[in-house]
Amino acid sequence: MGLIELMLALAIGAFLIAGAVTVYVRSCATYAINETIARMQEAARFALNTLEPEVRLAGFWGLTGDAMHIRGTIDHSPLSLSSSAERCGAGFALNLRRPVETANNTYPLPCAAAGGGALSGTDTLLVRHAQTGTSPPDGERLQVYTARNGQADAVFLAGSAPGPLAVDPLSGAQAQVRDLVAQAYYIARNANGQTGLPALRRKTLQGGAAGPRIGDEELMPGVEDLQVQLGIDPGVDEDGDGIPDDLNADGQPDRHAGVAARYVNPGDPALASARVVAVRLWIRVRADAAEPGYSDTKTYNYADVSFSPAGEDAAYRRLLISRTIRLRNAGPS
């Protein structure tokens, strides 16, 4: 082999190695990006899968769908609770008339948000319902008693039910006791162990030897926005005058179709008389680290948000997903 051939062989070899290295580096970068996207998808899905069953059950109380006549609630002979059960307000556990309660772009609760405080501009979502399964009376937690005759329906806190728990041999249980569920979902500024990375958190009514109290837990780091809109059913307008019919003049529509006519932001004046039949959620997730060379130029438009990442913020990958959930207890009436 002459010198020229040798040089040529070396040059070709170097060229091939450089090519292989480039392919390797690029596939590593692609792998890292795919990992980031997969992690964000997993986080968003986990958040929505946690929220969905709770929202779906909102307003479920057991043998009655009507919270108005349940005693012990803030509207009807309210129970007196300890300060630790009332830390997030007396209505946190006892406002059964509002199974879905929301605050627009703010955190409204008197109890402090964990994780460095609530992230401004994010919505807060409160959900209340009875547990899907029945429980024996338990003096350590708030429970809901409902009976087929509706006579003693109540939220209670005692080792014994406020009414009989008879079982009819033909028609089964005549009354039920279920644990009361009350939760508030919000976005905190800091995840556990990573300052500056927002996280989805939840305050939850809990039981315990010292009585009911409010716990707080991180559900998913990386969730930087929670937005909520409510699907409202204004009431049936049979006579076609454009106003929901109220023949008995009690200020409330006489009938509901159980279908969302439109979606409104929390705090919309229409919520005062309309019924909430569906909840639409948006979860925006952010990667936990900035990506060198990446710049997100998208504008995210959803709910009442229009967000264009700028400066350093644009170097993070993001994912926005949405889900609409029909409330199980909001059928026609």
* 287-306 binders of Ca ion (CB under 5 A): 304
* 90-119 binders of Ca ion (CB under 5 A): 104-105
Q: Is 241 in the site for Ca ion (CB under 5 A)?
A: yes
| Pick 86 or 101: Cβ nearer Ca ion | 101
Binding residues with Ca ion: total (CB under 5 A): 15
Within 8 A by CB and 6+ apart from 209, the residues are 140
| Pick 49 or 252: Cβ nearer Ca ion | 252
CB of 225 to Ca ion, least distance (A): 9
| Pick 138 or 304: Cβ nearer Ca ion | 304
The single residue among 239, 297, 299, 306 that binds Ca ion, judged by CB under 5 A, is 239
CB of 30 to Ca ion, least distance (A): 36
DSSP string across 95-142? -TT-SEEEETTS---SSPPSTTSBPTT--EEEEEEE-SS-----TTS-
Sole window of 34-42, 213-221, 243-251, 311-319 interacting with Ca ion (rule: CB under 5 A): 243-251
Q: Contact, 285 vs 39, CB < 8 A?
A: no
Site string for Ca ion, 188-227 (x = CB under 5 A): ---------------------------------------x
Q: Contact, 322 vs 281, CB < 8 A?
A: yes
Distances (CA, A) of 236 to 241, 245, 260, 274: 11, 6, 12, 11
* 63-82 binders of Ca ion (CB under 5 A): none
Q: Is 313 in the site for Ca ion (CB under 5 A)?
A: no
Query: How far apart (Å, rounded) are the C-alpha atoms in residues 246 and 151?
Result: 27
The single residue among 66, 140, 245, 268 that binds Ca ion, judged by CB under 5 A, is 245
The single residue among 80, 248, 297, 306 that binds Ca ion, judged by CB under 5 A, is 248
Adjacent-strand bridge partners of 217:
202
Q: Is 254 in the site for Ca ion (CB under 5 A)?
A: yes
Query: How far apart (Å, rounded) are the C-alpha atoms in residues 112 and 126?
Result: 15
Which residue type is seen at 279?
V
Query: How far apart (Å, rounded) are the C-alpha atoms in residues 68 and 157?
Result: 19
CB of 219 to Ca ion, least distance (A): 19
Distances (CA, A) of 295 to 34, 269, 308: 16, 39, 11
The single residue among 66, 218, 246, 268 that binds Ca ion, judged by CB under 5 A, is 246
| Pick 84 or 105: Cβ nearer Ca ion | 105
* 127-186 binders of Ca ion (CB under 5 A): none
- E strands, the chain, in order: 100-103, 124-130, 143-147, 154-156, 167-168, 172-173, 175-188, 199-206, 213-221, 223-233, 262-264, 275-286, 300-302, 305-307, 318-326
Interacting residues with Ca ion (CB under 5 A): 104-105, 123, 227, 237, 239, 241, 243, 245-246, 248, 250, 252, 254, 304
